[in-house]
Homo-oligomer: A and B are copies of this chain.
Amino acid sequence: MNKRQPITIKEVAEKAGVSQMTVSRVLNKQNLVKESTREKVEAAITALNYRPNLMARGLAGGRSKLLGLAYYNPSPSYLSALVVSALKHCRDLGHHLVIEDLSDIEDGLDTAIILKRLSSIQLDGLILAPPLSGNSKLLELIQDIGIPTVLLGSTDSRFKQSSVVFDDAAAAYTMTGHLIELGHTRIGFIRGPHELPWSRMRQEGYEKALVDNGIEIDKALIVEGDFTFRSGMHGGDALLGIQDRPTAIFASNDDMAAGVIAAAQRRAIQIPKELSVVGFDDTAIAAAIWPRLTTVRQPIAEMAQASVDIISNVTAEGWNGQPVRMVNDSIHIIERESLGPPA
């Protein structure tokens, strides 16, 4: 019968004829070990098929090699992109990814439970996905626990947490400009929920692009959604129902854009001939509908990877204590079939 973790550092040490400490040093890649000793130890490790016990390391050293990724109610495609990318990078860095569902926090921000979960498992660091990264109560809580944290898609200067952000406003500006270049002037916009900063930023970009191009902002062309397919469909319905309907609709995320396309298809409006639809994010759904969605790419994978890197650095020795704030400014419009010049 295989026991759980039969080989310990002690046995490796004996086999290699050194002390446990030396083995430990080899394990932790400290370079104060003589080459010949290191080789002996490594041989012993391989021979015995030794695997260090993470729990023991965590207890003794304070570093658990565990990174947390907390989310709340994400769109499926966003979540998978995030998880897959973060995970790949964790693997490369020898970390493990623990996923935490913080959905409780809406039911009255149950701080007790969150604190309990987050502080009992010795996380080396925590990545907060939107919209959690914009919840200042939560940020404060987490800062108190003292876990190094990276905010994805949001910064809050009141806290000393690192962040990786994307310039949503600039991206929305670029996309809107692109629509205008093609000749659209009546451009509908489906914004996100008003309480989220991303909603605001994307709308700002949209409005600024209109203004900069001498197009008046028409409030009748702006409706609010909640980033779901359903709400996009409703929003699209509303915009397509008005007199003198828009020739293009820019939805603040891909799910809503897919909803707009659905709404148009129900009314037998041809895309892009009679109506252009563009989205935001370039998640999986953008390429999984027809016509495929023209959209601004949000570099989710890159941002996830950057977050892992930051935590890795912050956790390492010799960190200066300053939060790292990173801005990803790669704005790309992915051209597909849902966009064309106005009729």
Contacts and interface: CB of A to CB of B under 8 A. Distances in A.
Interface of A: 1-5, 49, 51-56, 58-59, 62, 64-66, 74, 76-77, 79-81, 83-84, 87-88, 91, 96-101, 103, 115-117, 119-122, 144-146, 229, 255, 258-259, 261-263, 265-266, 283-285, 287-292
A52 B120 contact: yes
Given A83-B83, A119-B5, A55 B51 contact: no
Contacts of A87: 99-101
Oligomeric state, in number of copies?
2
Contact of A101 (B2, B88, B99): B88
A144 B255 contact: no
B51 A119 contact: yes
Contacts of A103: 88
A240 to B, nearest CB: 13
A41 B59 CA distance: 24
Contacts of A96: 98, 100, 117, 121
Contacts of A145: 2
27 contacts: A2-B144, A2-B145, A5-B119, A5-B122, A53-B59, A53-B122, A55-B55, A66-B98, A76-B76, A76-B80, A76-B283, A76-B284, A77-B284, A79-B80, A79-B83, A83-B83, A87-B100, A91-B117, A96-B98, A98-B98, A99-B99, A255-B288, A262-B292, A265-B290, A265-B291, A266-B290, A288-B289
Nearest to A144: B2
Contacts of A77: 76-77, 80, 284
A301 to B, nearest CB: 12
Given A51-B119, A76-B76, 12 more contacts: A4-B122, A5-B122, A53-B120, A54-B122, A55-B55, A55-B58, A77-B284, A80-B80, A83-B83, A229-B287, A229-B288, A262-B289
Nearest to A270: B268
A83 B288 CA distance: 21
Q: From DSSP, what is the main secondary structure of chain A's interface residues? A: helix
A53 B58 CA distance: 10
B55 A122 contact: yes
B91 A121 contact: no
A155 to B, nearest CB: 22
A88 B102 CA distance: 10
Tell which of A2, A54, A103 has the most Cβ of chain B within 10 Å.
A54
Contact of A258 (B74, B122, B288): B288
Given A97-B99, A121-B96, A56 B54 contact: no
A290 B268 CA distance: 11
Contacts of A101: 84, 87-88, 91
Nearest to A104: B91
